[in-house]
Amino acid sequence: MAKKVVTMGELLLRLTTPGHSRFAQARSFDAIYGGAEANVAVFLANMGMDSYFLTRLPDNEIGDSAVNFIRNYGVKTDYILRGGDRVGIYFLEKGTSVRPSKVVYDRKNSSMCDIDVNDIDFETVFKDAEWFHLSGITPALGGKCILLVEKAVEYAKKKGVHISMDLNYRAKMWSYDKFESVVSKFIKDIDVCFGWLSSEEEGGTHKIADFAKQGIDLKKFENTFSNMQKRYRIKYMVTTLRENYSADNNALSALIYDGKELYQSNKYNFTIKDRVGTGDAFAAGLIYKLANGADFREALEFGVASGVFKHTIEGDFNICTEDEIMTLVNGNTSGSVQR
Amino acid sequence: MAKKVVTMGELLLRLTTPGHSRFAQARSFDAIYGGAEANVAVFLANMGMDSYFLTRLPDNEIGDSAVNFIRNYGVKTDYILRGGDRVGIYFLEKGTSVRPSKVVYDRKNSSMCDIDVNDIDFETVFKDAEWFHLSGITPALGGKCILLVEKAVEYAKKKGVHISMDLNYRAKMWSYDKFESVVSKFIKDIDVCFGWLSSEEEGGTHKIADFAKQGIDLKKFENTFSNMQKRYRIKYMVTTLRENYSADNNALSALIYDGKELYQSNKYNFTIKDRVGTGDAFAAGLIYKLANGADFREALEFGVASGVFKHTIEGDFNICTEDEIMTLVNGNTSGSVQR
Amino acid sequence: MAKKVVTMGELLLRLTTPGHSRFAQARSFDAIYGGAEANVAVFLANMGMDSYFLTRLPDNEIGDSAVNFIRNYGVKTDYILRGGDRVGIYFLEKGTSVRPSKVVYDRKNSSMCDIDVNDIDFETVFKDAEWFHLSGITPALGGKCILLVEKAVEYAKKKGVHISMDLNYRAKMWSYDKFESVVSKFIKDIDVCFGWLSSEEEGGTHKIADFAKQGIDLKKFENTFSNMQKRYRIKYMVTTLRENYSADNNALSALIYDGKELYQSNKYNFTIKDRVGTGDAFAAGLIYKLANGADFREALEFGVASGVFKHTIEGDFNICTEDEIMTLVNGNTSGSVQR
Amino acid sequence: MAKKVVTMGELLLRLTTPGHSRFAQARSFDAIYGGAEANVAVFLANMGMDSYFLTRLPDNEIGDSAVNFIRNYGVKTDYILRGGDRVGIYFLEKGTSVRPSKVVYDRKNSSMCDIDVNDIDFETVFKDAEWFHLSGITPALGGKCILLVEKAVEYAKKKGVHISMDLNYRAKMWSYDKFESVVSKFIKDIDVCFGWLSSEEEGGTHKIADFAKQGIDLKKFENTFSNMQKRYRIKYMVTTLRENYSADNNALSALIYDGKELYQSNKYNFTIKDRVGTGDAFAAGLIYKLANGADFREALEFGVASGVFKHTIEGDFNICTEDEIMTLVNGNTSGSVQR
Amino acid sequence: MAKKVVTMGELLLRLTTPGHSRFAQARSFDAIYGGAEANVAVFLANMGMDSYFLTRLPDNEIGDSAVNFIRNYGVKTDYILRGGDRVGIYFLEKGTSVRPSKVVYDRKNSSMCDIDVNDIDFETVFKDAEWFHLSGITPALGGKCILLVEKAVEYAKKKGVHISMDLNYRAKMWSYDKFESVVSKFIKDIDVCFGWLSSEEEGGTHKIADFAKQGIDLKKFENTFSNMQKRYRIKYMVTTLRENYSADNNALSALIYDGKELYQSNKYNFTIKDRVGTGDAFAAGLIYKLANGADFREALEFGVASGVFKHTIEGDFNICTEDEIMTLVNGNTSGSVQR
Amino acid sequence: MAKKVVTMGELLLRLTTPGHSRFAQARSFDAIYGGAEANVAVFLANMGMDSYFLTRLPDNEIGDSAVNFIRNYGVKTDYILRGGDRVGIYFLEKGTSVRPSKVVYDRKNSSMCDIDVNDIDFETVFKDAEWFHLSGITPALGGKCILLVEKAVEYAKKKGVHISMDLNYRAKMWSYDKFESVVSKFIKDIDVCFGWLSSEEEGGTHKIADFAKQGIDLKKFENTFSNMQKRYRIKYMVTTLRENYSADNNALSALIYDGKELYQSNKYNFTIKDRVGTGDAFAAGLIYKLANGADFREALEFGVASGVFKHTIEGDFNICTEDEIMTLVNGNTSGSVQR
């Protein structure tokens, strides 16, 4: 019987210019629906888990289309609330070579921002659930979402559900101080934490960085993780390490810390079709393996391979099979046809 | 030397599903920029007028694209303000046969809603202008836009600029009472008025109606127009008369009243590629001819032919030449190739 | 609580040339998945029913895509069996004006043809089900499918599930004699029958006909229906009446007979985007209303309006809301935009 | 054994805006190769004749693509000369409803204009040929093409090949006087003539006309044909009669005169996907039947049905089978699917 | 005068997802027709040879489209038989970076499988032919195709036609033992053999391998080739050597053995648009040069360059000129524009 | 206040096959308008300059579309003359990997070739202009264009406008001797010269070369530039240095010589979306900085970064912001997303 997992977050309409064309050239947009947490939900459904997504969408045709879009990939949409004004939007222009991708956000005042925590029947939501995943983007949506996150984590914890959170601090959405004060309230209930909370003074200066240029200081990472874990008693601290060579070519590896060992995964070099959702694919891969009892090192390797694989797929979702990810984990990255 | 004309209003991003596909089927949207008043501005530029458009757009790539889009068709964009949060959006699914088109609006909190009338140098805007056109949609955007409309009409009047207004009451945007109280303040300064202000009690019950079913009561129209003109001293009262046979097939004629005569135009039967902007094309055609000294009956005929022609063109704009419109006015609607 | 409905049949890959291009011109095919019974299942899911589809698909990526495709539209895919060689295919070239549409079938040896009735847990399938729908295409797929149909009807009957069947005799797939001998075995268990069984000798010569040319002989229909009902004790006998004016323009009405009254629905004239699945949309509309307790005349009107509406939508499925169908039932076929 | 037929003329690159979009909206052009005579050649190949096309194309990739394009549809390209500067081009914007299609020609200085009649081995070209078809567009291309036409007709006549010519006078390409003086030199060698030579003074005022407006004066046609036939001893005089209701809707019939009887074909009403090449499809249908020994009335009916059918197909070519045309000839224009 | 060459094999419909999208994302398929031997035929036609292709296709529109598709590229289709049930199909999803391409076959029960060798007039087929090419895929299609291959080789040999065969063993289609027992019967009549017959025990373990990982053991190849040649008296033994770095980036060289010398070609590094048909392009290049009297080393170099060039072209066919291939042979792989 | 800049040249219709498909595969062409000098004009408008483009276009819909196309990107079209026969065309097939791009020109007899210098009001054109840019392609169009160039340079010089010229010798258009004799007449009036005039005998053999193979001999460049500058008193001599690794991968740097110092820019490695217009983007970047008072070394760096950036954009134009170019100049070529 498939294990139940719940993810919660916003589902956005992504409007991408065709190919690599610039915004000013576009006479159409490719339209998909996605978002950090939904991307995780889809991957887990692909892996055969009983994957539920919790969000709020307007009761109009755009909201309907968003529901259909993730249902297509096997996500259970029973817990989605309907109401409010709009689906949040982001416009994407995919870069290439020396030209970076560009994102224009138009996500304010979405239905999710206006969610009422009392409309959710957490009892049902977390019934028989094995895992709950959320991200730091949700509380950045405002007061109602902060309440939502607090309640959800509290309830999940009470029901004995494992909890993972991708901190995902977005400087454009709120201040670091606010972020920290909100997250620190419930972070002690998190089992797996992607990223870390820590001011520069404490030596936690590992912001999202380009490791292609500055190299990786494992000692510093161990220090940051260790401090944070001691403070918040998190089981696993995790992060990816990305090296940007161009908009088409990156390398990726990852770190996990369990309080004793800092384990670094294999590193992959690859070319890129679509970079969006690759961090989510990484998180989802790791969660999938941990939720199914794997060793944390094995889980990390599966996570990184999942993140790498996602770069080859258009859209937000890592549409694939467990076998395809395992091919990478097993060292075959030659991309040769199977006839 | 081309005459200068100024139009003012919101410029929206229109996202249309491909062909006649339903929202739930769309994996892309055709993307254009348009809006009631911009549509008028483009037609007037096509006709060779010195056509300026005044609006406010965000200072991002979507705003840039909107500017480019109307500049492409020859509209002067010098008076466009930049700032604010977002370009208003509407989603469109084009109907066919017995299935009506569907519009989903997502236009709240646009840059235009937040315009500051003090940022506009009306002295420059109306310098040497022959005509100013606006619509009742702009004041529906909120307090700042009401102020904008009032000031603009006041200034235009003072400078001796002819003013036309398409009342365009939208019940989804505000109440009729609010609409009437706002519009009635400055409607006496309008020279050409599309639509009418009048409660049902006064007998002015000619709401946007389907004349295919109910027929046209010219007496009632004359009464409504006459009452309104007496009250507000408007030079020309105008309206279109549409007959809906299916989403692909309509008939169109129009009425103009100059205080003495109620003149009805020729009626055209036609099939439809894109119905959006056809009322604007009608208004623009009439304005073009009046601004260039034509008799009001001749202007009405040109306006109707322009409105009819627009139904054959994808998008919001009536891209055409004066000759093409005159072919219809002269009775050739056979659509036969000119080789 | 939504009522449960089960439909059973084959899910085909439909490959359509772009626009109205001929096969020899096509450099790509639009790809969707559909089929007579799946089309019914999707409509019932759209209407909010708990709609399950039972079929067999190969365990490869094309099979996965077929599952995803109907899941997208809300159909429950829990009862779909996986195995066998291939997804059946049909190629479609859409006609226009005097040119008819063309279908090239490539459906032999599909996974469905090879289904083993013992792999199905009918107990679970029909648990709490309100309605079961099937068609005469399934037994045409061969011996294993004849067995399947017999068992399914037997089981459904035993569980008190209402049963509807679209006879859908296809002369290209099997002989009429074989068809009759198979269907007559279980037809007495059917509650609602689309079409009729009857040899020409008996006067039942109402083959699928073009009523545009030959007119409708209601007396003859009443006779045919009455004879058949007496023989098989079917509750409702139903048929559509189509008038073909061109590949783009048809008229449609329908008949229902309850043993006492032959009721004829309203007739609609309309233009056509996609004719495939319109009979299924009709059946689905009728079933939806009957399953929810409506009078059979009301159900017929809803069915016809549903069938008419489908002609405006690309693909096999009637993607719509109950409100949209009711707009037609209520007499508004003007296709005018709702702003 | 298939009969050999030779057609001669220019092969142009046709660049069409997508759908019905205007030139100013196009960001791409659909690209095909066609032309009056090539359209005839393709139809005859479709009908199973041994169809050769004679033209001249530049020795570059655009010339290669033109050759490939007609070879695709079974035309023999062995007699095509290679050399000269360019493939002639025409830009097409397809009209709809009241908006006519627009053609912008860019065909001057093409490789065909510069053809050297001495490069052609007419002995081989006309060996065993049953029929030769040409049009009045070729001599309009200039002196070298006039020479070509004269020589080709002379040679074909000498070899006993049947000759048909579509006069196709184009006022934009040359004067009527020049046209007449050139054509009258060899018209006596033509067996089947589409159109007629005759000044207005002589009462031959049947220019390409819109018979929807002016009606058809059969007496006048008989007179014109009779005069011309007497003068030039042509076996069959032929013309189509088109009624333009809109850019999407026409009616078509045709006339043939054999010196004794003026026979008028059935008339068809139809909607239009692509009007280009419909006259060529008519001519080709008639030629096909005459070349295979049919009665001239039967041939005319086949020609008209072929012309009508072409209106349903995108591009210049009438891609179809003899059966499809015969369905129309036999009175079935209902466009109903054959399953 | 161009030399005549005959190739024989199956022509499949290839359905490719757009860009690099996954099967589950595809809403359309790019449609072309190709296959190992047809790909050779097209290249030889491109090079100016009189290239005939022998296959069997159903007598329906999909079969017609397949004929047209290769006729387009200049292949002579006179020897194609029509009849049987269906065109074999394969679905293709093109990989990128670490993600391999995926192929789903749906080729069983095709018209080719059911070919009757007695329907072929080998006398005509091989009349004046210089070369005959076939592959090991054809006998894998079943008994009728084994008969076909045996007869064809026998006849070609008798007529003194040179014969080349690409062994192309496909483990998914049949067992190695069956393969060997069938092929060994006629392999002694082959002049040029791509690949080799040899069990692992004999040291012939050079299966299709990834030489990027394991390196190239020339000694072993010489041994394998030498053993096989001695046994079957084949003139030239040939193979490509591919190094897979990713789905977008490979290296390619090749080996030829004439009984005395094992010659290795230049090696090329390149990026990949479409990998399908590159082995066929290699074979075709080699055959072209050998058939026209080139030294076997020169022929190998031309073959490898042809194979490399094919990687840059979408679809199965190596559409190019001899000059383009020679540019690579001559050492210019810089891809710089020729203006 | 933005500085005024005038560029003069031909505006061509560019027809590109989709993706990297070959001419023979194309069923459509992407259509844009561009040309060496127009590309410069668009970049300067993007940078906020008051950018005017002077050309001649036919008075038809294709000419209109060309005007619209550059107006879209902010170029002022007031000085464009209308008349003549046609828009010049070039067909483009984009190469990849070892396959070079291919261009087929069809630009003879364009409206520009036939321009009458007396139709231009140079007084107005150069009023308040800061800079004038032209290229050596214009005089290659024939006598009328030679006259145009001479007059324009003479007038610009007289008005104190800075002049830059991209020599752009095209061997396919005219002989080197003719080129030199024409250009040498007015080259002394040029301030910034891209490329050089110099016969091989003088040691000026730096033709457009592939520096990937032959390396860069700075001494020789200094010599060539020094000789030329002495002879013609040009302020800055400039050239790019390109290294071709494949059609997808190049490196670029540049040289500038001011009579004293030969300064070499940074070198960039990058992948390529569209190589057309990259030299123009380089020139435009340099001109922009020089026209706004930058040091010539700084201007060169900006120019090279601009040229590099253009390789990432489809079409002829370098659509970008100054910030985007400065990101490269400042050393960030990692293409990492800015969120």
CA dihedral B176, B182, B185, B187 (to 10 degrees): -60
CA of D311 vs chain F CAs: smallest distance (Å) = 20
Non-local (6+) Cβ contacts of F207 within 8 A are none
Chain B, residues 72-91, CB within 8 A of chain F, namely 72-74
Statement: residue F205 has pLDDT above 70: no
Fold of domain A4-329: UDP-N-acetylmuramoyl-L-alanine:D-glutamate ligase (3.40.1190)
- Of D31, D104, D109, which is closest to F26 when you measure between CB atoms? D31
pLDDT surpasses 80 at C209: no
Share of chain A above pLDDT 70, in %: 96
Which residues from E are below 8 Å from C57, CB to CB? none
Nearest to E246 among A73, A320, A334 (CB): A334
Higher pLDDT, D229 or A84: A84
More confident residue, A11 or D217: A11
**Mean pLDDT score, F310-332:** 97
pLDDT at residue E98 above 80?
yes
Higher pLDDT, C339 or D85: D85
Residue C201: band (very low, low, confident or very high) from pLDDT cuts 50, 70, 90: very low
Which of A60, A62, A102 is opposite residue B61, by nearest beta carbon? A102
Q: Do A339 and E213 touch (CB under 8 A)?
A: no
The pLDDT value recorded for residue C337 is 72
Between CA D113 and CA D174 the distance in angstroms is: 14
Instruction: Indicate the pLDDT class of residue D336, thresholds 50, 70 and 90.
Output: confident
Cβ-based contacts of B339 with chain D (< 8 Å) = 103, 170, 172
Q: Please tell me which of the candidates F24, F96, F100 has its beta carbon nearest to residue E273.
A: F96
CB within 8 Å: C95 and D313:
no
State the average pLDDT for chain F: 94
Does residue E337 register a pLDDT over 80? no
Q: How confident is the model at residue E202 (pLDDT cuts 50, 70, 90)?
A: very low
Where chain B has pLDDT below 70, the residues are 198-209, 338-339
Q: Supply the pLDDT for residue B146.
A: 98
**Whole-angstrom distance, CA of residue A64 vs CA of residue A33:** 11
Helix axes B36-46, B278-291, angle to 10 degrees: 50
pLDDT, position A204: 45
A130 falls in which pLDDT band (50, 70, 90)? Answer: very high
pLDDT of B77: 97
Superfamily in which the D4-328 domain is placed by CATH: Ribokinase (3.40.1190.20)
Return the pLDDT at B216.
86
Chains that touch A (3 or more CB pairs under 8 A): B, C, E, F
Q: How far apart are CA C198 and CA C200, in angstroms?
A: 7
Class of domain F4-327: alpha beta
Chains contacting chain F through 3 or more C-beta pairs under 8 A: A, B, D, E
- pLDDT tens for D3-56 read 999 999 999 999 999 999 999 999 999 999 999 999 999 999 999 999 999 999
**pLDDT tens digits for E262-302?**
999 999 999 999 999 999 999 999 999 999 999 999 999 99
Task: Report chain D's mean pLDDT, rounded to a whole number.
Answer: 94
Q: How far apart are CA D281 and CA B82, in angstroms?
A: 56
D282 backbone dihedrals φ, ψ, rounded to 5°: -60, -50
Q: Which tokens in the block code for residue F201? A: 């005998």
Longest dimension (CA), chain F: 56
CA distance B246 to chain C (A): 4
Residue in B160, B75, B155 with CA at minimum distance from that of residue B120? B155
Q: How confident is the model at residue E47 (pLDDT cuts 50, 70, 90)?
A: very high
Residues in B closer than 8 angstroms to C319, CB to CB, are: 22, 24-25
Residue from B21, B11, B33, B36 nearest B276 by CA: B36
pLDDT at D333: 94
Structure tokens at B53: 């458009």
pLDDT value of position C205: 45
Q: Which of C21, C95, C246 sits opposite D314 (nearest CB)?
A: C21
Inter-chain residue contact C98 with D314, CB threshold 8 Å = no
The distance from CA B234 to its chain's CA centroid, rounded to whole angstroms, is 18
DSSP characters for F266-326? Answer: --EEEE-S--TTHHHHHHHHHHHHHHTT--HHHHHHHHHHHHHHHTTSSSS-----HHHHH
Contact check, Cβ <8 Å, D28/F26: no
Amino acid E199: pLDDT: 53
Q: Which of C46, C67, C68 to mutate to test the interface with A (most CBs of A within 10 A)?
A: C68
Residue D296 predicted with pLDDT over 90: yes
The letter for the amino acid at F289 is K
Give the whole-number percent of chain C exceeding pLDDT 90.
90
For residue B172, the model assigns a pLDDT of 86
Residue with tokens 């529906």: B140
Tell me what pLDDT residue A186 has: 95
Name residue A96's beta-bridge partners: A99
Which pLDDT score, from 0 to 100, does residue D87 have? 98
> What pLDDT score was predicted for residue F204?
45
With beta carbons under 8 A apart, name residues in chain F contacting D106.
62, 85-87, 89
Q: Which of B272, B313, B333 sits opposite D22 (nearest CB)?
A: B313
Among the four given CATH numbers 3.20.10.10, 3.40.1190.20, 3.40.50.300, 3.90.1150.10, the one describing domain B4-326: 3.40.1190.20
| 3-state DSSP of chain C | CCCEEEEECCCEEEEECCCCCCHHHCCEEEEEEECHHHHHHHHHHHCCCEEEEECEECCCHHHHHHHHHHHHCCCECCCCEECCCCCCEEEEECCECCECCEEEEECCCCCHHHCCHHHCCHHHHHCCEEEEEEECCCHHHCHHHHHHHHHHHHHHHHCCCEEEEECCCCCCCCCHHHHHHHHHHHHHHCCEEECCCCCHHHCCCCCCCCHHHHCCCHHHHHHHHHHHHHHHCCCEEEEEEEEEEECCEEEEEEEEECCCCEEECCCEEEECCCCCCHHHHHHHHHHHHHHCCCCHHHHHHHHHHHHHHHCCCCCCCCCCCHHHHHHHHCCCCCCCCEC
The structure tokens listed for F289 are 């900085």
Residues 9-28 of C with CB under 8 A from E: 15, 22-24, 26-28
Domain boundaries, chain C: 4-329
d(CA C132, CA B250): 43
Q: Note whether F97 contacts E319, CB cutoff 8 Å.
A: no
Q: Which of C25, C91, C99, C252 to mutate to test binding with chain D, by most D CBs within 10 Å of its CB?
A: C99
Mean pLDDT value across residues C60-71? 98
Long-range contacts of C261-268 (CB under 8 A, 24+ apart): C262/C218, C262/C221, C262/C222, C262/C225, C263/C296, C263/C297, C263/C300, C264/C218, C265/C300, C265/C301, C265/C303, C265/C304, C266/C301, C266/C304, C267/C241, C268/B98, C268/C304, C268/C305, C268/C308, C268/C328, C268/C333
Interface with chain C: mutation pick from A33, A68, A80, A338, highest number of C CBs within 10 Å: A68
Residues of C with Cβ-Cβ distance to B100 under 8 angstroms: 327, 334-338
Neighbours of chain B (3+ CB pairs under 8 A): A, C, D, F
Q: What is the DSSP string of A257-288?
A: E-SS-EEE---EEEE-S--TTHHHHHHHHHHH
Contacts of E101 in chain A (CB under 8 A): 335, 337
Instruction: Tell me which residues of chain E, numbers 260 to 289, contact chain F at a CB-CB cutoff of 8 Å.
Output: 268, 270-273
Judged by CB atoms closer than 8 Å, whether chains meet at D65 and F24 is answered as yes
Average pLDDT rounded to a whole number, residues E26-51: 98
Summarised one tens digit per residue, pLDDT across range F245-302 is: 999 999 999 999 999 999 999 999 999 999 999 999 999 999 999 999 999 999 999 9
Q: Looking at residues F77-94, what average pLDDT do you find?
A: 97
Which A residues in the span 298-337 are in contact with C, Cβ-Cβ below 8 Å? Answer: none
> Which pTM value belongs to this model?
0.96
Region C135-144: mean pLDDT is 97
Instruction: Work out the pLDDT band at C5, boundaries 50, 70, 90.
Output: very high
Instruction: Give me the pLDDT at residue C198, please.
Output: 66
Q: How far apart are CA D81 and CA B154, in angstroms?
A: 72
Q: Which amino acid is at F72?
A: N
Across the interface, do F101 and E334 touch by the CB < 8 Å criterion? no
Closest residue by Cα to residue A38 from A321, A293, A286, A318: A318
Contact E306, E325 (CB under 8 A): yes
A73 to chain E: closest CA residue:
E24
For an interface test with D, the pick among B20, B43, B312 (most D C-beta atoms closer than 10 Å) comes out as B312
